């Protein structure tokens, strides 16, 4: 057996042992794979807000956080403000236009609230292909360019324990 093949078997064996350990602790492991992509850190937590100026002022003036300017994201129907928190961020979302998904969220949650979490991935196309093969639905057929100028896609909350999950390629 070649060194390269041995190395692959050793890595797979390591992953299988790791998954077995997680399963023994009742951790859900159906999304773990030896796929051609990896999930990274939380990029941001998005919060829908009815008044983006008031929310921005709270993070900037009360908590002392560094905040960005308000930016329109027309393709996504939102205004965004990013609150910098070390190596992660909070994304404040406010409706832009009549068909904004954030307006629908605020209609149901008048005070606003957590809208989604964003996880970094190293290969969004492979992630989409792999997740779809595992019956994880996406809200769009393919990725779009997000607020950071990078490809993003949203996973259906019914397939993600009730949480809207955004994947962003880094």
Q: Is the same domain home to 18 and 71?
A: no
Task: Answer yes or no: is pLDDT of 119 > 70.
Answer: yes
Here the tokens at position 18 are 């790791």
Q: Using 50, 70 and 90 to split pLDDT, how confident is the model at 114? A: very high
> Could you read off the pLDDT of 11-56 as tens digits, one per residue?
444 444 554 454 454 444 445 555 799 999 999 999 999 999 999 9
Nearest CA to 33 among 50, 11, 52, 48? 11
Does 20 share its domain with 82? no
In the chain, how many domains are there? 2
Give residue 45's pLDDT.
Answer: 98
Q: In sequence order, which residues have a C-beta less than 8 Å from that of residue 123 and are 6 or more positions away?
A: 36, 37, 38, 169
Please give the Cα distance from 170 to 164 (Å, whole number).
19
- Taking only the tens place, the pLDDT of each residue in 90-111 is 999 999 998 899 999 999 999 9
* 76 and 147 together in one domain: yes
pLDDT the model gives residue 30: 47
- Residue-wise pLDDT tens digits, 64-80: 999 999 999 998 999 99
The CA distances from residue 113 to 69, 107, 108, 128, 164, in Å, are: 20, 12, 10, 27, 13
For residue 2, the model assigns a pLDDT of 42
Query: In this predicted structure, what is the pLDDT of residue 37?
Result: 97
Q: How many Cα atoms within 13 Å fall on the side-chain side of residue 14?
A: 7
CATH number at residue 39: 3.10.180.10
Instruction: Based on the fold, state whether residues 4 and 52 are members of the same structural domain.
Output: no
The residues, ordered by sequence, that sit 6+ positions from 50 with a Cβ below 8 Å of its Cβ are 94, 106, 110, 111, 112
Query: What pTM value is reported for the model?
Result: 0.78
Is 155 found in the same domain as 79? yes
Based on the fold, state whether residues 64 and 20 are members of the same structural domain.
no
Tell whether 42 and 29 lie within a shared domain. no
Tokens for 95, please give them: 């409706």
Q: How far is CA 37 from the centre of its chain?
A: 15
Do residues 39 and 1 both lie within one domain?
Answer: no
The per-residue pLDDT for range 78-94, each reduced to its tens digit, is 999 999 999 999 999 99
Indicate whether 160 and 81 sit together in one domain: yes
Domain hosting 10: range is 1-34
148 and 72 together in one domain: yes
More confident residue, 13 or 150: 150
Residues 154 and 93 in one domain: yes
Are residue 66 and residue 7 in the same domain, yes or no? no
| Mean pLDDT for the stretch of residues 155-160 | 97
Q: What is the pLDDT of residue 35?
A: 77
Which has the closest alpha carbon to 119: 86, 158, 160, 80?
160
Residues 6 or more apart from 141 whose CB is under 8 A from it?
none
Confidence (pLDDT) at 34: 54
């Amino acid at each position: 057996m070649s060194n390269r093949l041995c190395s692959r078997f050793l890595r797979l064996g390591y992953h299988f042992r790791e998954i077995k350990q997680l399963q023994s602790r009742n951790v859900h492991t159906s999304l773990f794979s030896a796929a051609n992509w990896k999930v990274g850190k939380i990029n941001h937590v998005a919060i829908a807000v009815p008044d983006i100026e008031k929310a921005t002022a709270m993070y900037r003036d009360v908590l002392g956080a560094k905040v960005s300017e308000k930016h329109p994201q027309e393709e996504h129907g939102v205004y965004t403000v990013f609150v910098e928190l070390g190596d992660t961020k909070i994304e404040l979302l406010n409706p832009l236009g009549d068909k904004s998904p954030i307006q629908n969220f605020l209609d149901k949650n008048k005070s606003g609230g957590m809208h989604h979490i964003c996880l970094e991935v190293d290969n969004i196309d492979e992630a989409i292909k792999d997740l779809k093969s595992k019956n994880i639905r996406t809200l769009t057929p393919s990725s779009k360019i997000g607020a950071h100028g990078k490809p993003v896609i949203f996973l259906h909350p019914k397939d993600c324990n009730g949480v809207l999950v955004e994947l962003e390629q880094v």
